[in-house]
């Protein structure tokens, strides 16, 4: 005989509201049953995207921002949310001085290096192009900087892939069919 049992859980209710925004404000408790029911996975659509996350993070002409830093610090992103950052860096040292290419997160008071490549002060030479591809989260007041010393070049693209609340942002021009 089929049984339906109410489930009272704030954690499960919060997850349902986050994953299924269309159910936000739905007044009924969650329920469990002991009947086998076929399941259709609507997770991508419920999360606001009709494509997989690997495709959802794709760079697109209308939604990417290019950056290039040579002997400079450049702000890559400073709007709250999740970002994909992709590109390459080359570090040269012809003068025998310390050289670097790095990304740093800052909150206006302090800075933390999250990716770096360097050549020491006693080394003359260069590093081959070093490719980077990472995701980063910025809270309100945070910024992501690309920093390049005098003989260094770091360049690439960034794209916001989700809002601060985790709502996915599809590539520019993409429409689900």
Domains of the chain, earliest start first: 4-39 (no CATH), 54-162 (2.60.120.1010)
Token pair 């992709």 is at which residue?
86
pLDDT values of the chain reduced to their tens digit, one per residue, 177 residues:
778 777 777 787 777 777 776 666 666 667 777 777 777 766 656 655 567 777 888 888 999 999 999 999 999 999 999 999 999 999 887 776 788 999 999 999 999 999 999 887 766 667 777 899 999 999 999 999 999 998 889 999 999 999 999 988 888 888 776
- The answer to whether residues 72 and 166 touch, using CB atoms and an 8 Å cutoff, is no
The span from the CA of 86 to the CA of 91, in Å, is 17
Token pair 């909150």 is at which residue?
107
pTM of this prediction?
Answer: 0.70
């Amino acid at each position: 005989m089929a049984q339906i049992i109410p489930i009272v859980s704030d954690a499960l209710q919060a997850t349902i509201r986050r994953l299924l925004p269309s159910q936000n404000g739905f007044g009924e408790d969650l329920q469990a049953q002991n009947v086998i029911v076929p399941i259709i996975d609507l997770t991508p659509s419920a999360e606001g995207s009709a494509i997989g996350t690997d495709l959802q993070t794709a760079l697109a002409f209308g939604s990417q921002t290019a950056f290039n830093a040579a002997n400079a610090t450049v702000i890559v992103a400073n709007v709250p949310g999740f970002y994909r950052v992709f590109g390459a860096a080359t570090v040269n040292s012809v003068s025998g001085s310390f050289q670097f290419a790095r990304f740093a997160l800052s909150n206006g008071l302090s800075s933390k290096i999250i990716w770096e490549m360097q050549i020491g002060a006693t080394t003359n030479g260069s590093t081959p192009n070093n490719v980077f591809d990472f995701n980063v989260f910025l809270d309100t007041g945070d910024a992501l900087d690309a920093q390049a010393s005098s003989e260094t070049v770091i360049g690439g693209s960034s794209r916001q892939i989700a809002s601060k609340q985790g709502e996915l942002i599809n590539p520019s021009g993409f429409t689900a069919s």
